[in-house]
Structure formats: C-alpha cells, structure tokens
Amino acid sequence: MRTPVNVSAVRVDDEGVFAVTDEEIVIDVLFDGRRIWSFWLTRDGYQHGGGYLVKWPTGLRKYLDGVTNVTLVEHVEQRLLHEEEVRFGTGEERIAVVNERGLPLGIDKSMRLVQTFDTRSAEHVAPLLDSIEEVLGGLAKAGIEAFPAYGTLLGAVRQGKLIGHDSDADLGYVSAHTHPVDVIRASFALQRALADMGYSTSRYSGAAFKVDVREGDGSVRGLDVFGGFLSGGYLYLMGEIRTPFEREWIFPLGTCMLEGRTLPAPADTDRFLTAAYGPSWRVPDPAFHSQTPESTHRRLNGWFRGIRVGRAEWDRAYSRHRHAPPDLDPSPFAQWVRDKEGGTPANLVDIGCGRGVDALWWAEQGTRVVGLDYAPKGSDAVAELAAEKGLDLEIRRFNLLELRSMLSGSARVAQVPGRKVLTGRHIADATDRVGRAHLWRACDMMLRDGGRLYLEFLVRRGHGRYARAHHLRPLPVNLVVRELEARGAVIVTRKVIQEESGGRRTARLVVEWHR
C-alpha cells in the first residue's frame, strides 16, 4: 500500500496555498465542496519559508473577494489534507466562481477558467457525445478512420467516461499520406466536409481544427480534430506527439466505451496513451503538463503551425476583456483618417480591427464597415453592441499567415463595387515578413476599384507604457515603403510621430495603387 505523503503547516490566503512537504503531491482545491483547481505542490509552487507557495491562477483572482470553505484534497487517494473557512479580500458574500450566465467554472489542464465536465450533467454533455459520433461518422464518409484521442481517449480507457477536470473533446486520425503537405491538404478537405454538414469550424494549424458544438444548456464547447501521419517509423500527431510507432498499433481500429457509447480506438490504446501521457497514464493527474522535446516542437511548428504564429498571445489578451471596452472613443489614428478623407467614407475595411473600437466609431458615423482580424474573439462584444444599435458593421476572420484566408477574404471585399478606405493600425508591425507580404497583396486586391490605405505602425518602442507593445515589432519606415512600392503602391503621405515623453515613435502612411 502506498504510504501517504506528509503535508503540514498548510496556509490558505489571498496570495495562494502554502504547505510543507518532503514529497511531490497532487492537490485538488475545492470551494464550498466544488473542485476549482488542481496543482502539483512542488512543481507548481516555489520554495518559500521552508515550504512551497502555489499562487492563485490569474484567471481565478478576480473571484477571490468574499468567503468560502476551502478544502484541500490529495487527488489520487481523495485524502483530506486541510479544510477551513477563508475570507478573501474585503467581500462579505459567498464566493461564486461562475460565468456571466451563472454556470460553474473551474481551472482546466491548460490553466484556463472554463466549464469543466465535472460541472456538467449527462443531459448537458449528450449533444457533445452525439457530435463526437456524428463527426466520427462524417470523417468515415470522407475515408478517414478517426478515433477519440488525448483526454477523451484517456477518460474512455481509464474509467469509461469524460474526465471531470477536462473541458473539451479530442479526435485524432492517422492519415494515409506520409508527407506534411499532403496531410495539410487532406485536413483542409476534411474541414470543408464538416462545414458542409453545418458545423462551425476554426483552424488551429495546418493539420488540426476545431468544431464548435452547442450543449444542452446553450454552452459552446470545442471538438478538436487532430491530424497525424506515419513516416520513417515515427508517429506524428498534432498536439505534440512524435514517437517510434508501428502501423499495427493503430490499425485496424479497436473499440472503447465512453459514457455508455461504443467508439473506435487505436488498436493498442496502451501504446498510444503512453505516447501521449507517458507510462504513468493510468494514474489520474488533473494538473498534467506535457513536456514536448524541443526537436518535436520545432518539427511540428515548421510543418504545420506557420498559420497561427502569435495567436495564443492574442487570444489570452482578449480573453481578459470579454465585455465592451469602457472607453469607446476613437483612436487619434481614426480621427486622422477622417481628416485626410475630408469626411466619412462610404465603405471602410479595418484590417486588424482588434477590439473593434474604431470600427464601431466608423459605423456610428454612417460608414459601412468590415472589420478583419486574426483573433476575432476580441471584437465579439463590440459586434454585439453594433447589432443592438442596428449599425452596418461586420466582423470577419482574416488570417494574413494563411494564403487561402487572405485571398478569399480579399476577393470578398474586392467584389463589392466602389471606392474603399482601408485602415491598418498596428497590423504591419504585429505580423512577420510573410504576413506583411500578404497584407500588401490583400490591399492591392481590395482597392481594385480605387481608394486608399492608411497605415500606422511602430518605429521605436520608447520607454512609455503602451497596451499592445509586447505584441508589436518596430519596423523601419524605409523597409515598409520599399515593400509597398515593390507591390506597385504609391506613397502619397509619410509621417513620423515622436512622443514628447517616453520616446516612442510611430509612422503613418497614406498609400494608393494607380491602375
């Protein structure tokens, strides 16, 4: 029998959880009897005062103002380690970790505050299970033998149900192709097939995408479809798997049971789960962190992830601001564009619209506005506000790092007749060389019927505080001008603005294409 790990001197306060131990241990944190978070004490904490202090996750901190009964439980053995009534901050009310609809939230394995499966009823997750079966059937019709993967397969094999601390479902497949380019082409074909079935999809990388599934209570949950292939005696699978593998360990597919449903599974689930989680996969670990070799990470990035560089950083930034910005005044850049235009244009396209404040302001002036962005989640609140006001504002997904997204999105704008104004505030400096080349091509296409491109980008960071500075790469003005002129553009105006304090410098360009 396993000897219990000794945990002592436990303290829970506004800073985090402190405890003394001489061995590693996985701890569940419960608020008023509901699991909120799990962590490894020594791995996730730092040495402090003779023990380890694990700080509260960033996403959870805003809820820590009030009173709750905090229980600490050893995850594997469910042994009670500590229990006390704790007051956080100055609040008097019971702490409720819920979303705006009152639905319970918890920290998942990726440290996101989401609706985990242990907060969902069987009725609520039934549509997700239905969709797993339906998507597996759709993939089979397309000639793909797919199966539950990662946490979904782990839960099915280990306990026959969804893992409580997980928050999404994963499917995987091993392509018949052996070259990354062919794997990518096949993945896009699969995405189109699922879109034809009526599903809303969004792409993670060249070999992985997400299917949005609506649950019984209206919640939208992601169903991830990860592509993989066998080559040179190795299995490569998005997420992060590269391991020596034999085809007969996958095919012919076997079966597994998930929430009473029979689903396909790799022929050797033990080998597959060992590849994903290591040899200890049978032991539950709600705080599991994958440790991908750098060589694997580089390979998969180089082959498949060029279309989402920086996307995680933008998503994290926008996830902290789910509601409409409190300051809805337009930027000085937008006001400068209006002055240069001599009034309000009829059609405006805001490339890299971000949270959509400028786009909303333009729409309020009577302009027909299309906002384009890599991470459209940031402008959701503004889009809802525009719809409530009946404004002519549409937000579209637009990825400068994905050629088909850029070409199709640009063609859709170009087919609307008439002169257009394009604005790009901190978009050229938020992407890389490939993204800028696609940006100039997009602008050239969109302005086929005439119009202007107005650009603003960072030239020098300076020392002042700027909200998006860490996402931006300063660009020499002459470099941007050369790239535009190589694309056939004419620079009408160029201007460099020097801040009086902080030393930050930005450039503004007015650009046309003369046919």
Q: Report the SS3 class of residue 28.
A: strand
pTM: 0.71
Average pLDDT over residues 147-152: 94
Q: What pLDDT score was predicted for residue 467? A: 47
Q: Which residue has the tokens 């993670």?
A: 204
Averaged pLDDT of the chain:
89
Distance CA 486, CA 480 (A): 10
Distance CA 145, CA 352 (A): 38
Q: Report the SS3 class of residue 504.
A: coil
Q: Which residues contact 127 (CB under 8 A, 6 or more apart)?
A: 213, 214, 215, 216
Domains of the chain (ranges; CATH) run: 7-97 (2.60.40), 118-308 (3.30.460), 315-512 (3.40.50.150)
Instruction: Compute CA distances 127 → 162, 212, 502, whole Å.
Output: 13, 11, 53
Distance CA 82, CA 80 (A): 6
Per-residue pLDDT reduced to its tens digit, 125-135: 788 888 899 88
Per-residue pLDDT reduced to its tens digit, 162-188: 887 777 889 999 999 999 999 999 999
Whether 72 and 83 have beta carbons less than 8 Å apart is answered as yes
Q: What is the largest CA-CA distance in the chain?
A: 81
Tokens of 484: 């535009």
Torsion of CA 452, 453, 454, 459, to 10 degrees: -140
Per-residue pLDDT reduced to its tens digit, 413-463: 999 999 999 999 999 999 989 999 999 999 999 999 999 999 999 999 876
Closest by alpha carbon to 436, among 451, 419, 453? 453
Instruction: Compute CA distances 278 → 61, 74, 290, 291, whole Å.
Output: 32, 21, 9, 10
